[in-house]
C-alpha cells in the first residue's frame, strides 16, 4: 500500500506539473509503446477493498479531526528516565476494562435474589460455556486490580508525582482507590454463600463504627435495619451500575490531567540548569 494512500485525498500534496501521473503528468517517453494494460474490474475492486479501512478512517477523520487529538495523545513527550514503573497506571486501567467486560457477561446469567443468587453462580460455573473461566477472571481480576492500584499509588508517591501541579490528580486517585475498594467489597456479597454473607455482615458492622456517619452508612448499605433481600439488591446496583460509571468518569478526568500536565521525571534525575547556575550547584 502506498504511503500516500494513508493521507486523506484532500490533504495530499498535489503533484507538480510534469511529475506524477495526473492530467499534468509527464508524457510517456516513447509514444509508440503500447499504453499499460487496463486492470480488470476484479483487480480494481480488490485494490479498493484493501484501501477501504483507510478510506473509512479518512472519512471519519475529515468529519471529527480526531487524528490531531490522537496524535497529541499518543505522541506526547515523556521525561527521560521513564521506566516500567510508569506502566502500573495503564495496567490498572487494563484490569478495570477486563473487570467491566467479564462483569457484563456474568450479569447476563446472574440473578440478584437471595434464593437464586448462589444457584445462578453455580449454573455459571457448571453449565455455561466458558462460565467458570469468565467467573474466575472476574474474581481473581478484582484482587489484581486492587494490587495494581496500590502499586501505582506507591509509584506516584515515591516519585513525588503528588506535588504541584498534580495534587488534584492525586486527590482524584484517592477517590478512585476508595471506589475500587468499594467494588471489591460489594462484589464479595454477590455469590451469597455462607462466607460472602458473613464477611459482608462483618464489613457492614465495621463501617457502622465510623464516627457520626457510621450508623447511617451501615443502614444505607443494608438498605434497612436488617441484612436481607434488599441488601443484596442494593449491593448489586452499587456494584454493577453506580460505581463503574463513577470510576469510568474519574479515570477519564485522571487521564486528561496526565496528558495535560505530562508525567513527572524520576526523582533521581536532576534538570540541567543553564551553565552559570549549573556550576554553582552543590
Ligand atoms: C482506577 C485507578 C487508576 C487508574 C486507571 C490510573 C491510571 C493512571 C495512568 C495511566 C497514569 C499515567 C501513567 C502512570 O504514571 O502510570 C496515571 C498517573 C497518575 N496517577 Fe493514576 N490511576 C488510578 C489510580 C490512582 C491512584 C489511587 C492514585 C493516588 C492516590 C493515582 C495518582 C496518580 C498520579 C499523581 C499520576 C501522575 C503521575 C506522574 O505525573 O508521574 N492514580 N494514573
What SS3 class is residue 149? helix
| C-alpha to C-alpha distance for 185 and 208, rounded to whole angstroms | 15
Single pTM value for the model: 0.83
**Residue 260: which pLDDT band, with cuts at 50, 70 and 90?**
very high
Ligand 1 site, residue 102, Cβ cutoff 6 A? no
More confident of the two residues 5 and 72: 72
Question: Has residue 153 got a pLDDT over 70?
Answer: yes
Helix, strand, coil shares of the chain, percent, nearest 5, are 65, 0, 35
Residue 89 alpha carbon to ligand 1 centre in Å: 5
Question: Has residue 30 got a pLDDT over 70?
Answer: no
Question: Has residue 103 got a pLDDT over 70?
Answer: yes
Residue closest to 180 by CA, chosen among 158, 155, 148, 221: 148
Residue 105 alpha carbon to ligand 1 centre in Å: 28
**Residue 3: which pLDDT band, with cuts at 50, 70 and 90?**
low
Residue 94 alpha carbon to ligand 1 centre in Å: 13
Residue of the nearest CA to atom 17 in ligand 1? 89
Which ligand 1 atom sits closest to the C-alpha of 155? 15
In the chain, domain spans: 84-261
Ligand 1 site, residue 96, Cβ cutoff 6 A? yes
The whole-chain average pLDDT of the chain stands at: 91
Q: Look up residue 223 and give its three cell numbers.
A: 438498605
Query: What topology is assigned to 84-261 in CATH?
Result: Cytochrome Bc1 Complex; Chain C (1.20.810)
Whether 146 and 180 have beta carbons less than 8 Å apart is answered as: yes
| C-alpha to C-alpha distance for 11 and 4, rounded to whole angstroms | 10
Amino acid at each position: 500500500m502506498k504511503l500516500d494512500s494513508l493521507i486523506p485525498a484532500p490533504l495530499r500534496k498535489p503533484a507538480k506539473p510534469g511529475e506524477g501521473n495526473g492530467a499534468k503528468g509527464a508524457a510517456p517517453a516513447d509514444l509508440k509503446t503500447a499504453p499499460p494494460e487496463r486492470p480488470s474490474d476484479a483487480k480494481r475492486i480488490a485494490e479498493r477493498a484493501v484501501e477501504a479501512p483507510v478510506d473509512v478512517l479518512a472519512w471519519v477523520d475529515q468529519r471529527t479531526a480526531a487524528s490531531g487529538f490522537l496524535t497529541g495523545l499518543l505522541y506526547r513527550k515523556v521525561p527521560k528516565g521513564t521506566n516500567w514503573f510508569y506502566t502500573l497506571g495503564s495496567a490498572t486501567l487494563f484490569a478495570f476494562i477486563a473487570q467491566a467486560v467479564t462483569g457484563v457477561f456474568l450479569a447476563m446469567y446472574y440473578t440478584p435474589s437471595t434464593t437464586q443468587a448462589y444457584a445462578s453462580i453455580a449454573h455459571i460455573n457448571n453449565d455455561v460455556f466458558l462460565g467458570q473461566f469468565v467467573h474466575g477472571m472476574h474474581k481473581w481480576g478484582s484482587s489484581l486490580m486492587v494490587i495494581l492500584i496500590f502499586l501505582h499509588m506507591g509509584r506516584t508517591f515515591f516519585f513525588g508525582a503528588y506535588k504541584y501541579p498534580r495534587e488534584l490528580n492525586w486527590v482524584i486517585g484517592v477517590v478512585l482507590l476508595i471506589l475500587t475498594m468499594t467494588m471489591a467489597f460489594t462484589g464479595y456479597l454477590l455469590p451469597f454463600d455462607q462466607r460472602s454473607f458473613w464477611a459482608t455482615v462483618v464489613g457492614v458492622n465495621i463501617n457502622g463504627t465510623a464516627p457520626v456517619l457510621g450508623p447511617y452508612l451501615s443502614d444505607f448499605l443494608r438498605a434497612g435495619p436488617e441484612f436481607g433481600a434488599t441488601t443484596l439488591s442494593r449491593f448489586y446496583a452499587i456494584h454493577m451500575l453506580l460505581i463503574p460509571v463513577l470510576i469510568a468518569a474519574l479515570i477519564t478526568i485522571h487521564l486528561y490531567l496526565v496528558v495535560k500536565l505530562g508525567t513527572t521525571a524520576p526523582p533521581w534525575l536532576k534538570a540541567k540548569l543553564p551553565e552559570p547556575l549549573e556550576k554553582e550547584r552543590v
